[in-house]
Amino acid sequence: MADSIMSKAATMEIPISSNGDSRTLAEDDGLEQATHWNLDEKDLQQVMVSGPNLNETSIVSGGYGGAAEGIIPTSSIKAPNMHHSNSNPSMMAEEATRGVAVEKFDTVKKWSINTYKCTKQMFSERFGRGSRTVDLELEVQIDLLRDTKSKYESVLRLASALTAHFYSMVQTQQALGDIFADLSQKSPELQDEFGYNAETQKLLCKNGETLLGAINFFVSSINTLVNKTMEDTLMTIKGYENARLEFDAYRADLEELSTGPRDAGTMVRIEIAQQQYGIHRDKYERLRSDVSIKLKFLEENKVKVMHKQLLLFHNAISAYFAGNQQQLEQTLRQFNVKLKPPGSDKPSWLEEQ
């Protein structure tokens, strides 16, 4: 009789304590009704059931269905090392895998919702069915900046072409001066004529190198203004325009939900929509303020830079074509333009591109 009872006890199921209850992730009720998607986080995770608590169970000696020799309480067995070496690593790996899957699912879900809303808002604006938030004063300044950048790019392109052509002319003058000087030594009957032509070409070459230094400085400054300063401001404007589109998308979504029926599910979605609307409104206002500040500083910097560069360009060109070598050199000193070492045949940075 005792053997029968013990054999039956050996085959009984071990109850799972409260710390081993299976848990599943709840469905997310925040997924938008307009998408008609039926996604469930349970598709990405398994129901994890933890093992029994050894401190609350007993181990029956003997094999399955075999004769029992006695019951050994688990408190007398040092099981923590075995539990940590076998159970915990696998459970921790499974928990980590499940956490990564849930995080990726949330990221994809948020991106999908945001993309859907923004795409819907963009098409609504394009076809005249949706309203658009407009800051008229800021929009005028942004359009003016884009037009100004386009014209400054034309100035930069033409000034670079002028530098390249003028550099070729200076190189030709230098080669011509060298040939005149050589012929002056080898042609006694034309020594004087070749001589003063050689001196003239060398002087023109020297003044040309000085002018090239001024033009290169002008091109470099315009390049920095257009491709760094203005481009940085336009990148901020791009972020502002994206934030404006998101703000209008969530505003339209909140307005649509507010005009619909007010059941329990709708009220939850309205509350979530209000939170998202507040987040994107704050982001939009912050970026709008950033754009206003950057446009203001850009305008001040542009006026300061162009005032200096246009004055340099005018004075250098005028002095060169007037043949005033002293004024040309003084202009470069006035604007702290440094020339390359004398006798250096290294081309300008534009020629190296």
In CATH, what number is assigned to the domain containing residue 221?
A: 1.20.1270.60
Q: How many CB atoms lie within 10 A of CB 161?
A: 11
pLDDT of 341 reads 55
In a domain, 64, yes or no: no
Per-residue confidence band for 276, with pLDDT thresholds at 50, 70 and 90: confident
The larger pLDDT score, comparing residue 178 to residue 345, is at 178
Instruction: For residue range 129-187, list pLDDT tens digits in order.
Output: 777 888 899 999 999 999 999 999 999 999 999 999 999 999 999 999 999 999 989 88
- Domains contained in the chain, number: 1
319 contacts: CB under 8 Å, gap ≥ 6? 325, 327, 328, 331
Per-residue confidence band for 66, with pLDDT thresholds at 50, 70 and 90: very low
Cα separation of the two ends of the chain: 100
The token pair at 177 is 């001066």
Q: Which of 53-57, 125-129, 152-156, 336-340 has the lowest mean pLDDT?
A: 53-57
Per-residue confidence band for 340, with pLDDT thresholds at 50, 70 and 90: low
In a domain, 60, yes or no: no
Instruction: For residue range 99-124, list pLDDT tens digits in order.
Output: 777 777 777 777 777 777 778 777 77
The span from the CA of 62 to the CA of 60, in Å, is: 7
In a domain, 334, yes or no: no
pTM of the predicted model as reported, rounded to 2 decimal places? 0.62
In a domain, 17, yes or no: no
- Residue numbers of the domain that contains 205: 136-328
The span from the CA of 193 to the CA of 15, in Å, is: 117
The larger pLDDT score, comparing residue 218 to residue 74, is at 218
Instruction: For residue range 16-50, list pLDDT tens digits in order.
Output: 344 444 443 333 444 344 333 343 444 434 333 33
In a domain, 276, yes or no: yes
Per-residue confidence band for 87, with pLDDT thresholds at 50, 70 and 90: low
The Cα diameter of the chain in Å comes to 143
Q: Per-residue pLDDT averaged across 65-94, rounded?
A: 51
The token pair at 27 is 């469905």
Flag whether pLDDT at 255 surpasses 80.
Answer: yes
In a domain, 68, yes or no: no
In a domain, 1, yes or no: no
Per-residue confidence band for 264, with pLDDT thresholds at 50, 70 and 90: confident
The answer to whether 73 and 58 have CB atoms below 8 angstroms apart is yes
Give the helix ranges, DSSP H, for the chain: 2-10, 80-82, 88-126, 136-186, 191-224, 231-258, 264-321, 325-334, 349-352
The token pair at 121 is 């808002």
Whole-Å CA distances, 122 to 65, 89, 273 = 72, 49, 19
In a domain, 50, yes or no: no
